[in-house]
């Protein structure tokens, strides 16, 4: 029996937030992106293995990875 499996990273843009950038110090809009690594079976995503959130400053382009809890805090849903 042949099993085709692998991993696939899916990027999804989320609504951004206004926050203070730790790099340039500007209180400006930040872009938020979800990066989900999915386990695939026969090229179909079966389950999410890991999920990361990437926040990018629109002023200087500084990008950092944040946890799901920090992302929820940014959305005001803690
Ligand atoms: Zn910045």
The tally of domains found in the chain comes to 1
Residue 17 has a pLDDT of 87
Of 77 and 13, the structure prediction assigns the larger pLDDT to: 13
Q: Is the dihedral of CA 43, 45, 49, 52 positive or negative?
A: positive
Residue 62 has a pLDDT of 96
Residue 11 has a pLDDT of 94
Of 66 and 4, the structure prediction assigns the larger pLDDT to: 4
How many residues appear in the chain? 78
Domain residues for 38? 5-74
pLDDT one-digit tens code per residue, 35-64: 999 999 999 999 999 999 999 999 999 999
Rounded to the nearest angstrom, the distance between the alpha carbon of 60 and the centre of ligand 1 is 4
Radius of gyration of the chain (CA): 16
Rounded to the nearest angstrom, the distance between the alpha carbon of 51 and the centre of ligand 1 is 24
Quick check: 77 pLDDT over 80?
Answer: no
Helix%, strand%, coil% for the chain, nearest 5: 10, 65, 30
């Amino acid at each position: 029996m042949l099993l085709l499996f692998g991993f696939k990273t899916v990027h999804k843009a989320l609504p951004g937030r206004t926050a203070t950038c730790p790099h340039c110090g500007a209180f400006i809009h930040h872009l938020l992106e979800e990066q989900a690594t999915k386990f695939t079976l026969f090229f179909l995503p079966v389950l999410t293995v890991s999920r990361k959130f990437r926040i990018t400053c629109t002023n200087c382009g500084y990008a950092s990875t944040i946890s799901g809890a920090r992302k929820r805090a940014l959305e005001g849903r803690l």
